[in-house]
Amino acid sequence: MEVKHSPLPFLLLLLLLLFLLLISAMAIAVESRGSPRGGGGGGRSPAAAAAAERLRFRGRSGEFKVLQVADMHYANGRTTGCLDVFASQMATCSDLHHNTTAFLSRVIRAENPDLVVFTGDDIFGFDATDAAKSLNASFALAVALKLPRAAVLGNHDQESTLSREGVMRHIVGMPYTLSRLNPGQCGMEIDGFGNYNLEVHGPEGSVLANKSVLNLYFVDSGDYSTVPSIPGYGWIKPSQQLWFQRTSLENQRKYMSEPHAQKEPAPGLVYFHIPLPEYSSFDASNFTGVKQEGISSASINSGFFSTMVEAGDVRAVFTGHDHLNDFCGKLTGIYLCYAGGFGYHAYGKAGWSRRARVVSAYLEKTAEGQWDGVKSIKTWKRFDDEYLSTIDSQVLWSKGYNGRRRKIPVGS
């Protein structure tokens, strides 16, 4: 039989070329999405991105934006179905197969945050066959986008194949994370895993470029009580509170001393999983958002709220844990906020959209047109509906307004 000259090798070569082109296009897309914000400028290699641990306000807009993802409850991906969606939605709903991952992708694209904070129950340990695998999958999108991330533990993260320490160690070892196990320098053992703070500096080239103008605190609120006489959830222990107190004091000292000594402390925001008992201080007349279930705090009061009030720099606290509560209320100068449930493999309410909380801080401009300290902090939520609806926009703090500058007459 006559052997014809086959077009096969040529076709294979063409396919290979197309494949290589596609891969490089994808790499470029990811790279450009992950390029730094604001003052920094320019593309960067993965190594440079990993090294860029310095969070900064954007040089152009003077803004810094945090996306809070609460209770992702990631399990095994495609095979893990959704809870509390309409019966008609069950067949097409799962962690990975659209839904949880798709929502994360859409809200990141819409908000373009400078930092994503995962406030615990990132994985739902009970249903995760391999904790490391689930953690990898739950953070895969944020890793691919090279987005700076911070995470704290919830009460379900350790229910699979890793301990709480194991989960936090895994999280700390992942690319582009800003999470840390615990501070090393404070000369004492600290309860829990994942107590740390992050500084957000002024824009590159600005007067406050080397100062933390916004302080973010992350605390491990534990899982369950280990004290037989105290039932229920865990709480923030004295060792953690002492660490917080010292860190807050040190932040304030640095901010208010030379060079460029500031008159008031930089605002602080605190993130953890389990709400404080003080979240029960509100009703619909004095919060924004909804309360559709009880406040599942520890059964005793750890005193952490008073510790924060006393520290003087904390303006707002953000938790998750109660998926059907998404409100923000103000008590003694501090806003206590929920994010509302995010994940589809987590209890929720059919017809009540999964959601995420956004917090944005804005810098003040001096008369000379220079970026100064933080002027205001706002928050809103995004729904996983067709329009990614924005709801409940509110101001959490404004400089001077709730500060010590304005005297309020006694008795008014």
Q: Which positions touch ligand NAG (CB under 6 A)? A: 85, 89, 92-93, 98-99, 130, 132-133, 136, 174, 207, 209-210, 259, 281-283, 285-286, 331
Comparison of 209 and 274: residue with beta carbon closer to ligand NAG: 209
Q: Which residues of 355-380 are buried (b: 16+ CB within 10 A; e: fewer)?
A: bbbbbbbbbeeeeeeebbbbbbbbbb
Comparison of 13 and 89: residue with beta carbon closer to ligand NAG: 89
Strands (E), 87-186: 115-119, 149-152
Nearest distance, CB of residue 218 and ligand NAG, angstroms:
21
Question: What are the structure tokens assigned to 223, written together?
Answer: 């899982």
Comparison of 92 and 112: residue with beta carbon closer to ligand NAG: 92
CB of 383 within 8 A of CB of 393? no
Which residue's entry shows tokens 């000379």? 368
CB of 114 within 8 A of CB of 55? yes
Nearest distance, CB of residue 209 and ligand NAG, angstroms:
5
Nearest distance, CB of residue 175 and ligand NAG, angstroms:
6
Comparison of 122 and 234: residue with beta carbon closer to ligand NAG: 122
Comparison of 52 and 331: residue with beta carbon closer to ligand NAG: 331
Nearest distance, CB of residue 89 and ligand NAG, angstroms:
4
Residue 178 forms beta bridges with which residues? none
Residue 233 forms beta bridges with which residues? 224
Q: Helix or strand or coil: residue 266? A: coil
Nearest distance, CB of residue 365 and ligand NAG, angstroms:
16
Comparison of 43 and 173: residue with beta carbon closer to ligand NAG: 173
Nearest distance, CB of residue 6 and ligand NAG, angstroms:
41
Nearest distance, CB of residue 154 and ligand NAG, angstroms:
20
CB of 262 within 8 A of CB of 256? yes
Nearest distance, CB of residue 244 and ligand NAG, angstroms:
22
CB of 327 within 8 A of CB of 290? yes
Nearest distance, CB of residue 161 and ligand NAG, angstroms:
9
Residue 212 forms beta bridges with which residues? 201
Nearest distance, CB of residue 99 and ligand NAG, angstroms:
4
Question: What are the structure tokens assigned to 269, written together?
Answer: 């925001």
Nearest distance, CB of residue 14 and ligand NAG, angstroms:
33
Comparison of 242 and 256: residue with beta carbon closer to ligand NAG: 256
Residue 331 forms beta bridges with which residues? 334
Strands 63-69 vs 212-218: parallel, antiparallel or unpaired: unpaired
Q: How far apart are CA 207 and CA 233, in angstroms?
A: 44
Which residue number has the CB closest to ligand NAG? 98
Comparison of 77 and 265: residue with beta carbon closer to ligand NAG: 77
Comparison of 62 and 234: residue with beta carbon closer to ligand NAG: 62
Q: How far apart are CA 325 and CA 345, in angstroms?
A: 17
Nearest CA-CA partner of 183 in 209, 229, 219, 227: 219
Q: Which residues of 118-135 are buried (b: 16+ CB within 10 A; e: fewer)?
A: bbbbbbbbebbeebbebb
H or E element that contains 131: helix 131-144
Which residue's entry shows tokens 């933080």? 374
Radius of gyration of the chain (CA): 23
Nearest CA-CA partner of 394 in 376, 409, 378: 378
Comparison of 250 and 283: residue with beta carbon closer to ligand NAG: 283
Which residue's entry shows tokens 């959704």? 82
Comparison of 239 and 281: residue with beta carbon closer to ligand NAG: 281
